[in-house]
Amino acid sequence: MKINILTLFPEMFDIFNHSILGRAQKNETLTIEAINIRDYTTSKHKKVDDYPYGGGAGMVMSAQPVVDCIKDIKKKNKGKVIFLGPRGRTFNQEIAKELSKEEELIFICGHYEGIDERAYEYFDMEISLGDFVLTGGEMACIPIIDSIGRLIPGVLGREESFQDESFYSGLLEYPQYTRPEYFEGKRVPEVLLSGHHDNIRKWRRKKSLIITQQRRPDLFKKIQLTKEDVKLLKEK
């Protein structure tokens, strides 16, 4: 996948040169490039914002540098243009899976008090990280790209690495344990030491169901329980 990030602060995305996504870029499974919107302004003082018509606090990003940047990047990236703003769909795992199937994507990071409305006609999609305020779209862009990138085939070691994770199947993840077998008097559940794969699968499924039911009843209501799920929940 090829991802371009249009931003006023490209240095913030050096984080993608490290860890799993950094390795994916070295393997050429994923390409992430940040583009400075400021390079496209026609202002001799490199301004990318101005006072809002009608008055109000703060500054608004101008349409010109954003639109010209999009037009230029579109010459080498034909992907969807995604603006990170408060009016968009709230990001979740389903959107991550949906976008991970794309070959190319372009993200626009807003800043200041908003962006000139006339730039919106160049956006294909708007995404919000949640109902809270951030200092800029960059802070939302990082977790969104990380979430999408790790779903791309070849980025993680095995597909199972993310299929059992929280939210992928609609459930929160089951408890995990590692060595030593005993820690501060607490032992790893015996079923995980049994080597009986089906019993381990059932235990994990049951724990996921219980944890989701207790901590995220909103998610649990959306789960279509199987006959086995009902039976597992009835067991003591």
Distance of alpha carbon 87 from alpha carbon 30, whole angstroms = 28
Distance of alpha carbon 86 from alpha carbon 138, whole angstroms = 13
Residue (of 218, 214, 231) closest to 90 by Cα position: 218
Q: Is 67 annotated as a binding residue?
A: no
Separation of CA 148 from chain center? 5
Q: Is 50 annotated as a binding residue?
A: no
Q: Is 107 annotated as a binding residue?
A: no
Q: Is 129 annotated as a binding residue?
A: yes
Q: Is 114 annotated as a binding residue?
A: no
Q: Is 55 annotated as a binding residue?
A: no
**For 12-18, which contacts have Cβ atoms below 8 Å and span 24 or more sequence positions?**
12/138, 12/142, 13/138, 13/141, 13/142, 15/142, 16/142, 16/145, 16/146
Peptide linkage before 86 cis (omega within 30 of 0) = no
Q: Is 131 annotated as a binding residue?
A: yes
Give the residue ranges of the annotated binding site for S-adenosyl-L-methionine: 110, 129-134
Binding-site residues from annotation: 110, 129-134
